[in-house]
Structure 1
Amino acid sequence: MTGLGDALSNPLRPVILTAAKSDAVRRVVTAAPPTRRIVDRFVAGNTRADAVAVATQLLGSGRGVSVDHLGENTLDVGQARVIVEEYCDLLTDLGKLEELTPETFRGAPAVEVSVKLTALGLSLGSDGSKIALDHAREICAAAQNVGAWVSIDAEHHTVTDDTLAIVRELRIDFPDVGAVVQAYLRRTEGDCRELSGPRSRVRLCKGAYDEPESVAYRDRAEVDASYLRCLQILMDGDGYPMVASHDPAVVTAVDPLAAVAGRGRSDFEHQMLFGIRDVEQVRLAGAGRRVRVYVPYGSQWYGYLMRRLAERPSNLRFFLQSLLSRD
């Protein structure tokens, strides 16, 4: 769930995102034994079994899940096929958890998978869009067979046009495919209007990549204001808004916006990341809100971890304390 966290709240964010591109930094971080401690906080584990175990626990607590097999920027069609097969096997396993569906999700799938199109081959040259579309169709069909949803994750702005074009193609045969948009991009208000038609699902997050000012708001207040404008567009639209934010101000704003738009509690959902604000997730679910938790798993956790550290000072403090601790 790219950008679910509250981007720009960490003053070291640009430095961390730059370091995330460094092979030298990657080697140091991944080799440090304490790193596993913070990875375990944000990532369900390396294997599909780990992800299913966490999903089982979350469904039992009254929350839904959106499971993501970590990986992006695949440059080999064979590796893309491996990822597709992993998602299909994952969906088979998740489909067996239907009896754990929380009461708040009756009428909507409590199980979803999130997919990055660059993991499916979007970056594979001139044929990338077709390869990614065909692979995404296969995953959508597998999800449909077990009654699950699929959302197509947002990535760097350079692939936004291709990503949304593929979403539109997928929705012809799979109308419930979710689109993910990032409020820090200047284009996103228009994308929200276009994407929020009948039966559509749109996940709105703030954004987690390091984008240039020419395409993205860089000031935190501007991002927050854009998020609320986009959220109002989605609430006023005909689709199903997925409010992906941990920001208390956003969480507080949801109910009034929904009420003005005439929406009940089953007409939208909150989404938050595994390992962040768990108490708040439980509180919202206990109050009868639909809450879906983004559950990443897999060995390709480095880029995801660095984005989480860049989003919130508290995440970075936790990481540094883990590195300094001998326990």
Structure 2
Amino acid sequence: MSSPAVGRVLSNPLRPVILAAAKSNAARRLVTGAPPTRRIVDRFVAGTTRADVLGVAARLLGSGRAVSIDHLGENTLDIGQARATVAEYRELLADLGTLGDITPDTFTGTPAVEVSVKPTALGLSLGPDGPKVALDHAREICAAAEDTGAWVSIDAEDHTVTDDTLGIVRDLRADFPDVGAVVQAYLRRTEGDCRELAAPRSRVRLCKGAYDEPVSVAYRDRAEVDASYLRCLRILMAGDGYPMVASHDPTFVTAVDPLAAYAGRGRTGFEHQMLFGIRDGEQHRLATAGRRVRVYVPYGSQWYGYLMRRLAERPSNLRFFLRSLVSRD
């Protein structure tokens, strides 16, 4: 019988290699300079400029889907860069406001536009004052979003910043109660976090997780992660908040309806979330069937780390990205 450690390695043997490459400058130069890479990036990242992402957002909104837009970048160690990130989000939100009448019918009463923000992009890592810097910056973005009529979610990163991230969410909700939290099912703590977050008006995005975490804090085996995701999903559906089911996995897409029906939610008490460029046909199918579907749309020049995490999530994702070079179906 294989040991648990062997089982963990075999469940995703490429993950450590790909995540190590995400931190390697040599690998970055190799990947970003390879001719096929641009084709992959063009499909899964909505360009490098605000104009690029606004065009993509308008198209997605016009198709009956909603959007959550992420200006790529994280681990900022320069206050000037953190301020530039805040300025970019403020300008993005102002521009999104000009899309005005492009509102999916299936999102009546629910903002069709959201921005996702990483705390380390706002200065969380800037020493002892980092959490306050990030909170103050997030407040600026939330105020701009409120003026636009958009939502804000505070994105999840690696486990070392989870406490600070959820602390920022709690502080923001005092003035902006609709701020969304993002939790990652592969972290062992997340069931407890879901119980605390499943409160009235609390929006919670449940994803699986994409960072290379130690076994002491995270499940490493695929079956364990899947089981944790389902447990967390049940908690959120049974709670009083608004679950945002961030998964492309048909198992969980299928599991949502009976859980929502049992909780008396109907089709408007939750939403599906999927990544831009992945399972576009399924996104259309769900939206056409009257489901709330929100597409996570990243943009910006700092796309390398994002792309590598998507590849590292599972070996099947790597195969999917490679197939995307020759097919757009």
Q: TM-score normalized by structure 1? A: 0.94
Once the two structures are superposed, the pairs formed by residues 215-230 of structure 1 within 5 Å of their partners are 215-230=217-232
Which amino acid in structure 2 is aligned with residue 245 of structure 1?
S
User: Which position in structure 2 is the counterpart of 1:272?
Assistant: 274
CA distance in 1, matches of 2:259, 2:325: 42
User: Which position in structure 1 is the counterpart of 2:134?
Assistant: 132
Checking the alignment, whether the CA contact within 8 Å between 2:46 and 2:298 is kept in structure 1 is yes
Once the two structures are superposed, the pairs formed by residues 129-168 of structure 1 within 5 Å of their partners are 129-168=131-170
Once the two structures are superposed, the pairs formed by residues 81-230 of structure 1 within 5 Å of their partners are 81-230=83-232
Q: Deviations 1:95-147 (Å, cap 9, x if unpaired)?
A: 12231111110010000000000000000001100100000000000000010
Q: CA RMSD in A?
A: 1.5
Please tell me whether residue 64 in structure 1 is matched to residue 70 in structure 2: no
User: Which position in structure 1 is the counterpart of 2:246?
Assistant: 244
Which amino acid in structure 2 is aligned with residue 306 of structure 1?
M
* SS of structure 1 residue aligned to 2:290: coil
User: What number of residue pairs does the alignment pair up?
Assistant: 317
* SS of structure 2 residue aligned to 1:259: helix
CA distance in 1, matches of 2:268, 2:42: 32
Checking the alignment, whether the CA contact within 8 Å between 1:183 and 1:230 is kept in structure 2 is yes
Quick one: structure 1 residues 11 and 277, their matched pair in 2 at CA, closer, same or farther if it must change by over 3 Å?
farther
Shift of 1:308: 1.1
Checking the alignment, whether the CA contact within 8 Å between 2:11 and 2:221 is kept in structure 1 is no
CA distance in 1, matches of 2:11, 2:255: 19
Q: Deviations 1:192-246 (Å, cap 9, x if unpaired)?
A: 0111211110000000001000000011111101001101110111110000000
Shift of 1:321: 6.5
Shift of 1:10: 4.6
* SS of structure 2 residue aligned to 1:68: strand
Which amino acid in structure 2 is aligned with residue 232 of structure 1?
R
Equivalent residue for 2:310, pick from 308, 311, 326? 308
Equivalent residue for 2:53, pick from 42, 51, 60? 51
Quick one: structure 1 residues 110 and 320, their matched pair in 2 at CA, closer, same or farther if it must change by over 3 Å?
closer
CA distance in 2, matches of 1:247, 1:124: 36
User: Which position in structure 2 is the counterpart of 1:233?
Assistant: 235
User: Which position in structure 2 is the counterpart of 1:4?
Assistant: none
User: Which position in structure 1 is the counterpart of 2:33?
Assistant: 31
Shift of 1:312: 3.9
Once the two structures are superposed, the pairs formed by residues 283-298 of structure 1 within 5 Å of their partners are 283-298=285-300
CA distance in 1, matches of 2:195, 2:52: 38
Checking the alignment, whether the CA contact within 8 Å between 1:34 and 1:322 is kept in structure 2 is no
Q: Name stretches of at least 5 consecutive residues in structure 2 with no aligned partner.
A: 1-9
Which amino acid in structure 2 is aligned with residue 142 of structure 1?
A
Shift of 1:11: 3.4
CA distance in 2, matches of 1:80, 1:309: 27
Which amino acid in structure 1 is aligned with residue 241 of structure 2?
G
Shift of 1:155: 0.1
CA distance in 1, matches of 2:28, 2:129: 30
CA distance in 2, matches of 1:99, 1:249: 35
Which amino acid in structure 2 is aligned with residue 223 of structure 1?
V
CA distance in 2, matches of 1:134, 1:26: 32
Q: Deviations 1:8-64 (Å, cap 9, x if unpaired)?
A: 975311210111111111111112222111011110000001000000000010000
Which amino acid in structure 1 is aligned with residue 233 of structure 2?
L
CA distance in 2, matches of 1:322, 1:93: 31
Which amino acid in structure 2 is aligned with residue 206 of structure 1?
K
CA distance in 2, matches of 1:129, 1:237: 29
Checking the alignment, whether the CA contact within 8 Å between 1:35 and 1:319 is kept in structure 2 is no
CA distance in 2, matches of 1:198, 1:320: 42
CA distance in 2, matches of 1:150, 1:318: 30
